[in-house]
Amino acid sequence: MTDAISSVLSQIRALQAQAKGVGAALDKPLGNAVATPQVAAGAAPASFGQALQQALGQVNQTQLHARDMATAFELGDPRADLARVMVAQQQASVAFRATVEVRNRLVQAYQDVMNMPL
């Protein structure tokens, strides 16, 4: 259980470091939450919108997994122990906070561009 907590803490620290820059948050994987799109050989790279949509889908999947784990624990499923449920919920929380931080930085960048004098 101590290893699981240490793992979650290290992931949180890594995500906080990545969230300091928009480029870092969009280019590097964020644990199980956000991953960069894979480009096949010869295929065109994904657009920014597609990459963002994929990242949001992965955050959603992380949250759904955490909810399912919590429900299984509440129903007494022996495979869903408390440590795994807490780790899943923390991963979902970190993924959501990172997503909100990226959104805030994108909105700020958009506002900066819109307020530029011509």
51-91 residue pLDDT tens: 889 999 999 999 999 999 999 999 998 888 899 999 999 99
pLDDT at 61: 95
Q: Residue 96 belongs to what H/E stretch? A: helix 82-114
Domain boundaries, the chain: 47-118
pLDDT at 36: 44
Lowest mean pLDDT across 12-16, 56-60, 92-96: 12-16
The candidate with the shortest Cα–Cα distance to 55, out of 111, 110, 106, is 106
Phi-psi region of 46 (alpha: psi -120 to 50; beta: other; left: phi over 0): beta
- Specify which residues 30 forms β-bridges with: 34
State the Cα–Cα distance between residues 58 and 104, nearest whole angstrom.
Answer: 19
Could you tell me which residue, 107 or 28, shows the higher pLDDT?
Answer: 107
pLDDT at 48: 82
pTM of the model: 0.58
pLDDT at 64: 96
